[in-house]
Structure 1
Amino acid sequence: MTKRTHPERVFPALAWPRQWANGGLRGDLLAGLTVALVLIPQALAYAKLAGLPPQVGLYAALLPAVVAALFGSCGQLSTGPVALTSLLVGASILPLAGGSPEQLIPLALLLALMSGLIQLALGVLRLGWLLNLLSMPVLMGFVNAAALIICLTQIPSLFGITLAQGEHLVLGVARMLTDNRSLHAASMAFGLGALGALLLLKRLAPRLPGVPIVVAASIALSALVGFEAGGGGVVGQIPPSLPALSLPPLRPDLAMTLLPAAFVVAMVSFMEAASSAKLISGRTRQAWNQDQELIGQGLSKVAAAFTSGMPVSASFSRSALNYASEARTGLSSLVAAAVVLVALLYLTPLLWHLPKPVLAAVILQAVGGLIDLKVLRRAWRAHRDDGLGAIVTFLATLAFAPNIQNGIFTGLFLTLALMVYRSMRPRVALLGLHPDGTYRDLHRFGLSHPHPQLVIVRFDSPLTFVTAAPFEDGLLRAARAQQDVRVVLVSAAGINEMDATGLYTLAGLIERFHAQGQSIAFCGLKKQVVDAMERDGLWPRIADVAAYRTEQQALDALLPGLPAATLA
Structure 2
Amino acid sequence: MEQCELPRRQTSLDRVKTMLPRLLPFLRWWPRVNRRTMAADVWAGLTGAVIVLPQGVAFAAIAGLPPQYGLYAAMVPVVVAALFGSSWHLISGPTTAISLVVYANVSQLAPVGSPEYIRLVLALTGLCGLVQFGLGLARLGGVVNFVSHSVVTGFTAGAAILIATSQLGHFFGITLPRGGSFLETWATFVHDFPAINGHVAFIAGATLAIALVLRRLWPRSPALLLALIGGSFICHLVDGAGHGAKLVGALPASLAPLSLPEFNLDTFRVLFPGALAVAMLGLAEAVSIARAVAVRSEQAIDNSQEFIGQGLANLAGSFFSGYASSGSFTRTGVNFDAGAKTPLAAVFSALFLAAVLLLIAPATAYLPNAAMAGVIVLVAAGLVNVKAIRHILHTDRSEAGVLAATFLATLFVALEFAIYAGVMLSLLLYLRRTSHPHFITLAPDPSTAHRALTNIRRKTLAECPQLKILRLDGSIFFGAVNHIAEELHRIVNHSPEQCHILILGSGINFIDAGGCHMLFHEAGAMKLSGREIFFCSLKREVLELLQRGGCLARIGAENVFPNKESAIAGIVSRLDPERCACCAVRVFAECAGRPGGWASMPQRPDPEAVVGQE
Instruction: Name 1:517's counterpart in structure 2.
Output: 530
State the alpha-carbon separation in 2 of the partners of residues 284 and 48 from structure 1: 34
Q: Find the partner of 1:109 among 111, 117, 122.
A: 122
Instruction: Name 2:415's counterpart in structure 1.
Output: 404
**1:425 correspondence with 2:436:** yes
**1:543 correspondence with 2:557:** yes
State the alpha-carbon separation in 2 of the partners of residues 415 and 77 from structure 1: 27
**How many equivalent pairs are there?**
559
Q: Deviations over 1:102-136 (max 9, x none)?
A: 22111111111111111111111111212212222
State the alpha-carbon separation in 2 of the partners of residues 300 and 564 from structure 1: 76
Alpha-carbon distance, 1:80 to partner: 0.9
- The 5-angstrom pairing of residues 16-415 of structure 1 reads 16-21=29-34, 23-98=36-111, 101-220=114-233, 222=235, 227-373=240-386, 375-400=388-413, 403-415=414-426
State the alpha-carbon separation in 1 of the partners of residues 305 and 260 from structure 2: 26
Mean CA deviation greater in 552-561 or 51-60? 552-561
Partner SS for 1:365: helix
Q: Is the 8 A contact 1:430 1:478 kept in 2?
A: no
Letter of the structure 1 residue corresponding to residue 441 of structure 2: L
Mean CA deviation greater in 514-523 or 77-86? 514-523
Letter of the structure 2 residue corresponding to residue 391 of structure 1: A
Q: Is the 8 A contact 2:402 2:422 kept in 1?
A: yes
Alpha-carbon distance, 1:198 to partner: 0.5
Partner SS for 2:254: coil
Mean CA deviation greater in 297-306 or 535-544? 535-544
Instruction: Name 2:605's counterpart in structure 1.
Output: none
Partner SS for 1:490: strand
- The 5-angstrom pairing of residues 483-502 of structure 1 reads 483-502=496-515
- State percent identity of aligned pairs: 33
**Residue 405 to residue 349, structure 1, CA distance change in 2 (3 Å):** same
RMSD: 2.3
Consecutive unaligned residues in structure 1, runs of 5 or more: none
Letter of the structure 1 residue corresponding to residue 88 of structure 2: G
Q: Deviations over 1:130-151 (max 9, x none)?
A: 2212222222111111111112
Partner SS for 2:431: helix
Instruction: Name 2:12's counterpart in structure 1.
Output: none
Letter of the structure 2 residue corresponding to residue 448 of structure 1: A
Structure showing greater relative contact order (alpha-carbon pairs closer than 8 Å, 6 or more residues apart): 1
Partner SS for 2:501: strand
Give TM-score, length-normalised by structure 2.
0.86
**Residue 287 to residue 208, structure 1, CA distance change in 2 (3 Å):** same
State the alpha-carbon separation in 2 of the partners of residues 532 and 260 from structure 1: 41
Letter of the structure 2 residue corresponding to residue 142 of structure 1: F
Partner SS for 2:108: helix
Partner SS for 1:561: coil
Q: Find the partner of 1:533 among 540, 543, 546.
A: 546
Alpha-carbon distance, 1:480 to partner: 3.4
Alpha-carbon distance, 1:99 to partner: 5.7
State the alpha-carbon separation in 2 of the partners of residues 187 and 419 from structure 1: 49
Partner SS for 2:440: strand
Partner SS for 1:554: helix
Q: Find the partner of 2:459 among 445, 467, 484.
A: 445
Instruction: Name 1:12's counterpart in structure 2.
Output: 25
Q: Is the 8 A contact 1:163 1:173 kept in 2?
A: no
Q: Deviations over 1:60-86 (max 9, x none)?
A: 111111100100111211111111110
Give TM-score, length-normalised by structure 1.
0.92
**Residue 217 to residue 382, structure 1, CA distance change in 2 (3 Å):** closer
Letter of the structure 1 residue corresponding to residue 417 of structure 2: N
Alpha-carbon distance, 1:557 to partner: 2.1
Q: Is the 8 A contact 2:58 2:372 kept in 1?
A: yes
Q: Is the 8 A contact 1:455 1:478 kept in 2?
A: no
**Residue 203 to residue 99, structure 1, CA distance change in 2 (3 Å):** closer
Q: Is the 8 A contact 2:517 2:551 kept in 1?
A: no
Mean CA deviation greater in 507-516 or 438-447? 438-447
Alpha-carbon distance, 1:301 to partner: 0.8
Alpha-carbon distance, 1:173 to partner: 2.8
Larger Rg computed on CA atoms: 2
